[in-house]
Structure 1
């Protein structure tokens, strides 16, 4: 039921946004994607997935769960792909958590390892967003800096709450892997912005990118679409870049993020193939056992 409500809310958000800025902003985002940007997304996705998998390995091992880096990369890719194609955007993470827990003989610890791994990443992301807003305050014409300061305080409180849940595994390595992953996501956002035709300088785009990434963590979306588009429409509109361009940038990012997760199809198909092969072997053994 919760999943249905989340998807419903995302649909409402997208519908309201479409009525406000028009369908053209969404279509422009799809049309703007070019092969070079897809190639860049695949390369960036490979790097960010590797560092995300390394973070997962570090957290899991800290909890006494063994996992090889190669296996973690494949499972993480599969999780990213399932997150993109299934409602709510978190079912891929649930899948890899349960799968790893079953292999390790402890599903609860497998689930906890993934939850803590994702929380650790969010802690670093929120802190990075606060730091970026402090270094490069977002200029909103006609408005004082108080809203930015309030947003920073709220983000700081959120980061503190997340840190309390993940502090036992926030080692230097986990933080380092998380920073590298965050940098990869920001780079993908910058590629999406340039692809969409945004000419704003980096010191303006980076805080917006980090803030958008924090919003994307809200599990109310359809294939990742929903709050991201709404936030960027408001943020781009407030900073003078234009709400429609914000939506277009968000859509480009969504398409590129989907492309970056496409390699996850390979481990997904491999996993489906293994049970089939095992079933075929069992069928072949039956006549021999009967004879």
Structure 2
């Protein structure tokens, strides 16, 4: 039922967009896209996924997990495959948690490791957006830029405030607040050295920077005439919106947000939509290695049961 609702939302958004955009022009832009830039963009996207897996590996090393980097790379690609290609009830994070539990690790520890990886990844996105919005202030209308800066600062401040909850002992008495208290305790244990935290956030910034480079390559492939600094400011908010699980793999939400944001600078809506669709297709292609790892691990599991 949940996936049906997501599908309906996705269809509704695309229907609205196609009412505003000439479909034949859109198809012509997609058909004429430059293959060389698309290939380079795909390499950037694969690099982003690999680097994200490396971040998870570095975080997990600080916990109880002793697996090799190859395990995290394979599991991360599998998770991406489930997120982008298989609209199932099992999300990518759940796949990663299951992979760890199959290795004999405690489910709560596995959840914690994946959760911290997610949060650090989100902080990296906010940091990148904040820096880009400050350096290139004036690229977009001031109201939009100030809103992005405010959201980024609030998100980053919210993350670092989590470290303070450990000292507020009465929070442990309440069910929901107890979760925040325990999370704060674990974060302080994990990042007793703030230098390590800065390194992990820096990896996250690099992950999202590569994703923006991916979209820039796509923009060049269709002659969208969008500067890299525009994308550095506009793309992270789009990524933030696609985190909200209201459509299938972010389809529709991503396209609507892209078109809406770039309208602020007078960009060609048809080319922006084409760019977003190509990026979505590239995400699917970039996730396909996960299908190989999934099938491979499934065969190994079946053989072990015999």
TM-score normalised according to structure 2 size: 0.80
Q: Identify the residue that residue 149 of structure 1 maps to in structure 2.
A: 146
Moved more, 11-20 or 71-80: 11-20
Q: Identify the residue that residue 267 of structure 1 maps to in structure 2.
A: 293
CA contact (8 A) 1:32 1:252 kept: no
Report deviation, 1:90: 7.5
Q: Identify the residue that residue 133 of structure 2 maps to in structure 1.
A: 133
Q: Identify the residue that residue 198 of structure 2 maps to in structure 1.
A: 172
Indicate the RMSD between aligned Cα atoms, in angstroms: 2.6
How many residues of Structure 1 are paired with residues of Structure 2 in the alignment?
277
Q: 1:138-194: per-residue Cα shift (whole Å, max 9, x none)? A: 545xxx512321232123223333453685456133123212211211110111111
Moved more, 214-223 or 159-168: 159-168
Unaligned runs of 5+ in 1: 283-291
Q: Identify the residue that residue 227 of structure 1 maps to in structure 2.
A: 253
1:85 aligns with 2:85: yes
Unaligned runs of 5+ in 2: 163-182, 192-196
Report deviation, 1:228: 1.0
| Alpha-carbon distance between aligned partners in 2 of 1:29 and 1:96, rounded to the nearest angstrom | 37
| Alpha-carbon distance between aligned partners in 1 of 2:269 and 2:281, rounded to the nearest angstrom | 19
TM-score normalised according to structure 1 size: 0.84
1:122 aligns with 2:122: yes
CA contact (8 A) 2:60 2:113 kept: yes
Report deviation, 1:85: 1.0
| Alpha-carbon distance between aligned partners in 2 of 1:77 and 1:35, rounded to the nearest angstrom | 24
Give the secondary-structure state (helix, strand or coil) at the position aligned to 1:133: helix
| Alpha-carbon distance between aligned partners in 2 of 1:26 and 1:63, rounded to the nearest angstrom | 48
Report deviation, 1:267: 0.5
Report deviation, 1:240: 0.8
Give the secondary-structure state (helix, strand or coil) at the position aligned to 1:137: coil
